[in-house]
Structure 1
Amino acid sequence: MRVFSAKDVETHLTYIDCIRIMQDAMIKLSSNETRQMLRQILPLGADKMFGIMGGTLGDFDIFGSKLVAVSPSRTDKTSGSHQGVVVTFDKDTLAPTCIADASAITAIRTASTSAMATNLLARKEASILTILGTGEQAFHHALAILEVRQINEIRIWGRSLHKAAQLTQKIEQLTGIKCTPYQHVETACAKADIICTVTSASTPILHQHHVSKGTHLNVVGSSFDGPREIDDALVSISKFIVDSKTSVESQGSEYRHALANKAISENHILGEIGEVASKTLDARTSSEDITIFKSLGHIVQDIAAVAYIAEKTKEVTQ
């Protein structure tokens, strides 16, 4: 069995490659070429939880599971908020073949999926990127989205202005792009072309009146039914695209809350991002459309990423 550390993952899984891999995985999901179970979550008290995800990619060509312990408030920079493993298995012998650091896989594949959705849904001329959140996903989203749009301004909002300033300095030094910390969500989002919500907020931080016409949003922070990052009104006026319709209908908090409060109808989900990628669904039809990509995260993304690293490193060692 091969083992891939966080450093291995970061070395071999670039954003540009991962964006392509995620698009292919999402097309397969929307084409019913995958099988998966809904994410299972076991609360561990306070803000800690244990999650289990399992599934297959293709005709059982690749299958595996992700076991991860999550604490959104965890600030330990050495391990992050997600700790766990992604395990893949051999389809013939059924033996485990690879085990990879789940924190690194999750960080890169989540941001790359948002970048893939941004490429498909955001206006081509989009140049102002706002990120709500200051954690690991905020950093990775900034870098991944630079791969798909010519961004000339990055704005960072966080509950801690100090953390927002630290992150902006890090991103600006790395990319050379103007990056500014903001104290208020409303000013951070004013005239933004792309907004990514990557927070651990339990109640909405982003509201309809914060968002301009034509904006694309990646709503990422809440991965189970309960916490919400955006309000019902914003959900209701959007073209609402998801990673997995089945998953979002069962566990997508923003969608479920808006539906329960009759802000939207049951058919508000326009479709899956895999359908947009395969050109079987038109999402943005006007420059004034507000598009939302609701990302819960999916096991096929994890096992596709690990399978790619395994194949790439096999080629290196041969």
Structure 2
Amino acid sequence: MNAPAPMVIDGDEVSASLSYPDCIEVVRDAMIALSQGRTRQVLRTIIPVGDHKAFGVMPGALGLDDFFGAKILSVFHDKDRPTRSAHRGFVLLFEGENGFPVCLADAEQITRIRTAAASAAATDALARKDASVLTIFGAGMQARSHIEAIACVRDLSRVVVWGRTLANAQAFAAEAQAAIGLPVTATTDGKEAAQQADIICTVTGAREPILFSDWVRDGTHINVVGSSGIGPIEIDTKLVQRVRFFAESRAATAQYSEFQKAKEQGVITDDHVVAEIGEVLGGKPGRTSQADVTLYKSIGHIVQDLAAASVLYRQRLGLTEIS
């Protein structure tokens, strides 16, 4: 049997076709399946290929006889954005009946949308139902995506954006406000930004903490997203120790920089993980009181990418049902 040519879905089509509501739904289902042992994946492999250059591979399967594949991408220093890295590559999707590769979808745009969708699913499960003020630490691509995704699961009244420079934060706030139709204010004062928030998302490239426990009000939910491996840290150890901590998977905590630092300092153990987010999405208790500070740590899992790519593949074939 000759293999058909896989369809190619570029970044523009991913952005136009992969909606946040659809992606939130399939990411939620994928994380439940991960926690129930119905999916297959291994931790990512990252190979240095030069100064500020890396090649990454994330393989996995959505389940037996289901889609499987890998995200394959480069992470290179972005010359156009000196403080950031560019992610370039594809999510390669195979079908589970004959093992044919059926789809190559732009990895950067899938990652942008599914990362925010995963945070939104966690927020829906863990944030207070009346949470309405969102604070974003960061003013890049993921900041905008997180605003759009979180707005799908909570009735936001306003957004606060923290940036290292006021000019960048203000430019981002003006653009975001025009796009989403909500008041968006900018600040460089992290304490002021955090103390207004019901929901906080950290989506920065920070190497050292930019969010501290003393700034966070009781009852806040936090999504920690920016650090995707050992080294960079966005939040202080005191905050890690304080929160009800929810992981994508218990195995992934080996690559959670903030969690590992707190372990090294002896203030937590592996038992500090209350549950995997898929367990909570599947019905296990998450928030226990209005005063709880809950935290979801995200580095990204391949089952999220494969679930998102499968939506795009089915849409291109005219199969619009998500499940």
Shorter-chain TM-score: which interval?
over 0.9
In 1, Cα distance between the equivalents of 2:11 and 2:173?
24
Is 1:129 paired with 2:143?
A: no
The code of the aligned residue for 1:254 comes to E
Contact 1:42–1:51 (CA under 8 A) maintained in structure 2: yes
The code of the aligned residue for 1:151 comes to L
Is 1:261 paired with 2:265?
A: yes
- For the residue of structure 2 that corresponds to 1:264, the secondary structure is coil
Q: Is the alpha carbon distance of 1:140 and 1:80 closer, same or farther for their aligned partners in structure 2, counting shifts above 3 Å?
A: farther
Shift of 1:291: 0.2
Range moving further from structure 2, 262-271 or 210-219? 262-271
The code of the aligned residue for 1:253 comes to S
The TM-score, its normalising length taken from structure 2, stands at 0.93
Gaps of 5+ in 2: 1-5
In 2, Cα distance between the equivalents of 1:94 and 1:286?
47
In 1, Cα distance between the equivalents of 2:64 and 2:231?
34
> Which residue does the alignment assign to 2:88?
83
The code of the aligned residue for 2:229 comes to F
The code of the aligned residue for 2:17 comes to H
Equivalent runs, 1:54-73 vs 2, <5 Å: 54-71=59-76
In 2, Cα distance between the equivalents of 1:80 and 1:169?
24
- For the residue of structure 2 that corresponds to 1:66, the secondary structure is strand
Range moving further from structure 2, 107-116 or 5-14? 5-14
Name which of 278, 283, 290 aligns with 1:274.
278
- For the residue of structure 1 that corresponds to 2:270, the secondary structure is coil
Range moving further from structure 2, 88-97 or 179-188? 88-97
Name which of 92, 97, 104 aligns with 2:102.
97
Show CA shifts across 1:15-66 (max 9, x none): 0111111100000000000111111112244433221100000114110000
- For the residue of structure 1 that corresponds to 2:318, the secondary structure is helix
Contact 2:78–2:85 (CA under 8 A) maintained in structure 1: no
> Which residue does the alignment assign to 1:293?
296
Name which of 136, 153, 160 aligns with 2:158.
153
> Which residue does the alignment assign to 1:43?
48
Provide the aligned length of Structure 1 versus Structure 2: 314
Show CA shifts across 1:231-265 (max 9, x none): 110000100001111112x2111111101111112
> Which residue does the alignment assign to 1:284?
287
The code of the aligned residue for 2:246 comes to I
In 1, Cα distance between the equivalents of 2:63 and 2:231?
32
In 2, Cα distance between the equivalents of 1:92 and 1:67?
22
Name which of 310, 315, 320 aligns with 1:307.
310
In 2, Cα distance between the equivalents of 1:72 and 1:154?
30
> Which residue does the alignment assign to 1:251?
255
Show CA shifts across 1:135-178 (max 9, x none): 10001001110111111110111112211111100111112211
- For the residue of structure 2 that corresponds to 1:85, the secondary structure is strand
> Which residue does the alignment assign to 2:209?
204
- For the residue of structure 2 that corresponds to 1:292, the secondary structure is strand
Gaps of 5+ in 1: none
Q: Is the alpha carbon distance of 1:164 and 1:22 closer, same or farther for their aligned partners in structure 2, counting shifts above 3 Å?
A: same
In 2, Cα distance between the equivalents of 1:73 and 1:130?
26
Contact 1:100–1:306 (CA under 8 A) maintained in structure 2: yes
Range moving further from structure 2, 59-68 or 192-201? 59-68
The code of the aligned residue for 2:117 comes to S
The code of the aligned residue for 2:45 comes to Q
In 2, Cα distance between the equivalents of 1:46 and 1:133?
25
Equivalent runs, 1:209-220 vs 2, <5 Å: 209-220=214-225
The TM-score, its normalising length taken from structure 1, stands at 0.95
In 2, Cα distance between the equivalents of 1:290 and 1:73?
35
In 1, Cα distance between the equivalents of 2:213 and 2:118?
24
The code of the aligned residue for 2:293 comes to I
> Which residue does the alignment assign to 1:237?
242
| Coordinate RMSD, CA, aligned | 1.8
In 1, Cα distance between the equivalents of 2:91 and 2:160?
32
In 1, Cα distance between the equivalents of 2:79 and 2:198?
30
> Which residue does the alignment assign to 2:3?
none
In 2, Cα distance between the equivalents of 1:46 and 1:152?
43
In 2, Cα distance between the equivalents of 1:57 and 1:174?
34
* Aligned-residue identity in percent: 43
Show CA shifts across 1:118-140 (max 9, x none): 01000011011000011100010
Is 1:53 paired with 2:58?
A: yes
Contact 1:75–1:81 (CA under 8 A) maintained in structure 2: no
Q: Is the alpha carbon distance of 1:108 and 1:315 closer, same or farther for their aligned partners in structure 2, counting shifts above 3 Å?
A: same
